[in-house]
Amino acid sequence: MPRVVIPGIDVALLTGPLVLGYMWSYCLYGILIVQVYMYSEAYPRDRAGIKAVVWGMFILETVFTLFITIAAWNQYGLGWGDTDTLVIIDWAWEPLPALNGVLAGIAQSFYIWRIWSLTKQLWVPIIIGLVVLAQVTVAFYYGIVVSIEGRGVDKLFALTPEITFWLTSTAAADLFITLSLLWIFFRQKQRSNFARTSGIINRLIRYSVETGAITSLGAIVEVTLWLTSHQWNIHFIFFLVLGKLYSNMLLATLNARAPMFRGETSMTGSAPANSFWADGTVNSPPVSNVNLNSRGVHISRTVDVAKDVDPIAMDDFSPTGTNGRGVQGKSDW
């Protein structure tokens, strides 16, 4: 069958990116299902608020996936061969901007709460919160205007300033969050005299940079493609996966507390698997009257390890001060 040719239009650049966006979105949704399952199994005693965030995002992602499935069917199933589908946005796309904005806002709000919990200062969370509120508002405005004025692709071009502001504010919020966490962890590292504590903080710094960079890069690439090649649909690849990047990064942050992700293989013993996260102390019990041989040789020893100053307790989300496995610990989240 010969390829469909429309004068002045590259059909492949209009339909191909949507196909890739749908496929990658389904892939990320599958990863999200696995992460939600792992979270529910590993941390059944997390705070009710944290569980509400996780399941709320999962429900919204399910709704998002349902709408893109309808849109894909209407374009490539019912609308196969109809050239109007190339320039008219399907009705199932109308709620997608708002859903993307809400998903990003929920994930960013979680990190804002994280920053406040670690610093007990309001000015940084308020500044970031205003940026997040702005991007969510513009995402809703974008979706509403397209729904009211028509779903033609030309309507999107008229909203270029709003779309640019939405995506740049999303990336800016991610960068502010990442820089704030880096500042908190670097300050804590400078106040610590323990190699183990410094190593843990180094991992936190690296993890914060990686998770913040992924979502920030996604928003930056999308706005760049929109500004440079909005006449094609390449930017829709990142539009369809951006919300799921936020959901997966948030679940990855929560699941990173599990021993399997920290390289720990045992949770046995009366102390938490990582005492630094629990109470900021590393206490070795005294060893006394250890019989080394049958001749009656005894060694008495007492080991005292100093307490680290102002620890960052980040491993406990449970309301009762225990982690997901019932191990007692300090809850600063």
Model confidence at 244, pLDDT cuts 50, 70, 90, reads: very high
Model confidence at 217, pLDDT cuts 50, 70, 90, reads: confident
Predicted local confidence at residue 321, as pLDDT? 47
Q: Determine the Cα–Cα distance for residues 28 and 100; give it in Å rounded to an integer.
A: 14
Q: Is the pTM of this model over 0.75?
A: no
pLDDT by residue (tens digit) across 284-304? 444 444 444 444 555 555 555
pLDDT by residue (tens digit) across 269-282? 333 333 333 333 33
Pair 21, 237: CB distance under 8 Å: yes
φ, ψ (nearest 5 deg) of residue 203: -65, -40
Pair 216, 171: CB distance under 8 Å: yes
Q: Determine the Cα–Cα distance for residues 79 and 15; give it in Å rounded to an integer.
A: 12
Residue with tokens 């504010």: 169
Angle between helices 195-229 and 160-191 in degrees, nearest 10: 170
Q: Determine the Cα–Cα distance for residues 266 and 131; give it in Å rounded to an integer.
A: 42
For the chain, first and last CA: distance in Å?
60
Q: Regarding predicted confidence, which is higher, 261 or 99?
A: 99
Predicted local confidence at residue 327, as pLDDT? 42
Beta-bridge partners for 88: 152
Pair 255, 39: CB distance under 8 Å: yes
pLDDT > 50? residue 90? yes
User: Which among 54, 38, 43, 34 is positioned nearest to 317, based on CA atoms?
Assistant: 43
User: Which among 327, 328, 281 is positioned nearest to 308, based on CA atoms?
Assistant: 281
Predicted local confidence at residue 158, as pLDDT? 74
Predicted local confidence at residue 154, as pLDDT? 67
91-95, 105-109, 161-165, 313-317 — most confident range: 105-109
Predicted local confidence at residue 201, as pLDDT? 62
Beta-bridge partners for 299: 290
Which 3 state secondary structure label does DSSP give 2?
coil
Q: Sort 294 into a burial class: Cβ within 10 Å, 0-12 / 13-18 / 19+.
A: exposed
Structural domains present in the chain = 15-262 (1.20.1070)
Which 3 state secondary structure label does DSSP give 311?
coil
pLDDT by residue (tens digit) across 38-82? 999 988 888 898 999 999 999 999 999 999 999 999 888 886 766
